[in-house]
Structure 1
């Protein structure tokens, strides 16, 4: 039996990453692009966890499937943790990844290397149709580069430099990125819970629980 979950995002980059991390294990991953009637979910929480839980709960209630949502972003130490939960709209609502990156580069223009430390942070929430909730988090430490490099990834990946690899996130091979990324670490921490939850929900919906 093919099990279904819905990833509470329309970002195909995140959908692709989740598929790569979960691998081929009979789980069909849907996204908000498959349920246009849900509409935009306003991320008005003050933490990544609040936003992830809100998205997952909204979607699970709307479609009756186990929902997985993440909220993630970049925390720059020199900017006192900004852009944080505002990472996707750092340059203003409606702006794109390039504009967000250009704003960050401008703010960090004269900052010396030793003060360019940053991290990606991710919280993943899993919510079942009956309202059970689970969360896990993950971080990845790095530096803000002085120019964008690489074509893989999305968001701030071209600016997030990993000294141990000598590359930005956008230059890393997908299998390495998935292993060390904030999202990969968070998902690894919740993967066993997710598998158990999906199996149990499927059995309950088939009247076997």
Structure 2
């Protein structure tokens, strides 16, 4: 099932709560989310170096799923464990995106992602054209690059969960995710993409993450069950 909606959540977690956070996120939170109609997959990543320690994301059939009644109902009915876990988030940032384009091909299981978040005066299609030019000579034979444009209105919806972690959307309009089978090409990919995007790019943040866990809806047409993959 193709995905056109994307929710990204960046955060550090209190050091003494990280194991409990991982248990909550694996065993309660992600299974709950991928059981919502239109959700396809949930993932959690860890930063290799600088950047927020954890990156959590959900892929949905379309962006409207991320402001739908069933999703907002879940956000406004946090479980006791969710209420506890969210108090341990530090420097959180959450944004909702529409996919502009996706290019390239990789196997289902991809252990690394390079992220680039930025602002630019260019439109989404213009940024996509620059990404396409870069993809003509990629730094690895198998990679996939996706460009997302933030849905500011949906990102700003106030919910009971957001009141707990007290953060809103990020200030960067565009997100590029480059999925890689190996972390080696990440630095070369970052340099090449920065050059391809052009000098007018502002507020650029680049981070490489490794996949910690992934939970996928078994059938997005009839959600409610999930399969789990852990990356050691």
Range into which the TM-score falls when normalised by the shorter chain: 0.3 to 0.5
Q: Which has the higher contact order (CA 8 A, sep 6+)?
A: 2
- When you count strand as a share of all residues, which structure comes out higher? 2
